Chains A and B, each alone.
Chain A
Amino acid sequence: MSKKKLHEDQKYIDGLAANNTFIIQAIYDKFVPKVINYIKQNSGDVYDAQDVVQETIITIYNQAKQKKLELTCPFDAYFFLLCKRKWLNQLKKSGRKEVTINEEVLSKDDDAQVLSFETSVFENKQTLFKAMFEELGEACKDLLNATFKIKSMEEVAKSLNITYAYARKKKSLCIGQLTKLVKASPKFNQLNY
């Protein structure tokens, strides 16, 4: 995938990552109306649409910040697929009315399918990672919070009153602990590892 040419709509991804207000407004003006229509036609209302859109944009932002998301298809198709999938999942979960899946609306753009699927997997990872972090013991949480906030391991060690070597080792073991928690989760097989 890395060999593919970036789509010019990458500007939306970069704009989100940079918290560019004009780009975010442009996304709302250009791409959101279609999502609202779709959700309204499928047992939802405007406020459902507002939430779905907001959550989707936050996910794209998170991925763009972390993974340098590279768009090789139009943003429109990618974004619509993501919102649509999120909405259908919510309907399924809440057991609301029958869903009329309008397959014609589905993008035939393969890249959009692949990329939006990757983003959905990314979102599932985020959700699971957050939950697992909460299960960690306080000592590990404190150490990791300090480690990723302060950056310099020397300072972390000093602030927690432990030696550098111990701080370093402890960090590995705490993330190791998280790795184990993730792998043991029943949701692990949805993460495409």
Chain B
Amino acid sequence: MEEQDYIQFEAYLAGELPKDELSDFEERLKTDAPFKEAFQVYKDFTSHLEHEITNEQENSDFKANLDVISTMHFNKTLAPKVSEEPTQKSNLYKYAIAASVAVLIGVFVFTQFNYPTYEDFNSYEPISLSVRSSDVAVFNKAEQSFNAQNYEAAIAAFNTILEDDFSNLEIQLYKSIALVETNQFEEADLLFNKLSNGSSAYKDKAKWILALSYLKQERNSACIDVLKTIPEDAEDYESAQKLLNQLD
């Protein structure tokens, strides 16, 4: 096609083709197959761009909404059932004894009891968020709050980010950490389910944090189950093995 043909396509679609050219143009569409084909592609591409660019906000709202509904649906009906810790109370009890023993005879002996705690493992690296929108301030706020261990404020900032960009897995992961830190385990579990079963780069990280969440809740057998699913090439594999050894 010549430049002039595309200029004509554009004018035709805008309804601005001069009358004297219009009938020739329509005649050519009928008789000239390559011309017609090029016009069809041109028209479809225009419609595609209108949809992708003009409706950008609507489209991302739709995807965010869909993501929420999908996650809820699949969590509700199909979440893998993690066996509840039946001996939670007795573990607590044991822990209490261990703790009081520790108080009595010192930290060294306490570690001999091999009761690892969440606090032994929750030293999270400072985060550095990749800013995906123009709202840099809220990203800064999230980053600073998280790194200052001000998790409530971090969660608020994460939520603001997720309102615009629900599928941002990086933010979902950090939010899940902040939720565990503030003992909001159920909400954290929703995120873990999604992240650890997905195929994203955050999959194994999510498993590790989920294991820590169970550790914090003293659901040790659930914790062990999750730790065992962390593969050798995962960043947290060594920590996972260390924790496994201490729990076994």
Contacts and interface: CB of A to CB of B under 8 A. Distances in A.
Q: Do A and B bind each other?
A: yes
B49 A148 contact: yes
A58 to B, nearest CB: 7
Interface in B2-19: 3, 5-7, 9-11
A33 B37 CA distance: 41
Contacts of A89: none
A133 B44 CA distance: 13
A46 B6 CA distance: 47
B11 to A, nearest CB: 8
Given A61-B62, A66-B50, A178-B45, 7 more contacts: A24-B69, A47-B198, A54-B66, A61-B59, A148-B53, A176-B5, A179-B1
Contacts of A149: 53-54, 56
Contact of A175 (B11, B42, B51, B59): B42
Contact of A66 (B1, B48, B53, B77): B48
Contacts of A173: 3, 6-7
Contacts of A91: none
Nearest to B44: A125
A28 B10 contact: no
B45 A175 contact: yes
Nearest to A122: B44
Contacts of B56: 149
B26 to A, nearest CB: 18
B247 interface: no
Contact of B73 (A19, A25, A148): A25
A86 interface: no
Contacts of B46: 175
Interface residues of B, number: 42
Contact of B65 (A21, A172, A178): A21
Nearest to A130: B52
Interface in A131-164: 133, 144-145, 148-149, 151
B87 interface: no
A168 B14 CA distance: 11
Interface of A: 16, 19, 21, 24-25, 28-29, 32-33, 36, 46-47, 50, 53-54, 57-58, 61-62, 65-67, 125-126, 129-130, 133, 144-145, 148-149, 151, 168-169, 171-173, 175-176, 178-180, 182-183, 193
Contacts of A29: 73
A144 B51 CA distance: 12
Given A58-B63, A175-B45, A66 B197 contact: no
Contacts of A62: 51, 59
A25 B56 CA distance: 23
A72 to B, nearest CB: 21
B47 interface: yes
B160 interface: no
Choose among A24, A25, A65, A176 the residue with the greatest number of B CB atoms under 10 Å from its CB.
Answer: A176
17 contacts: A19-B61, A24-B65, A47-B74, A54-B66, A58-B62, A67-B47, A129-B45, A148-B50, A148-B54, A173-B3, A175-B9, A176-B6, A179-B6, A179-B41, A180-B1, A182-B41, A183-B41
A172 B62 CA distance: 30
Contacts of B44: 125, 129
A61 to B, nearest CB: 6
A149 B49 CA distance: 10
Choose among B44, B45, B56, B69 the residue with the greatest number of A CB atoms under 10 Å from its CB.
Answer: B45
A176 B55 contact: no
A57 B73 CA distance: 14
Contact of A28 (B37, B48, B70, B198): B70
A66 B213 CA distance: 45
A62 B49 CA distance: 12
B69 A182 contact: no
A169 B42 CA distance: 14
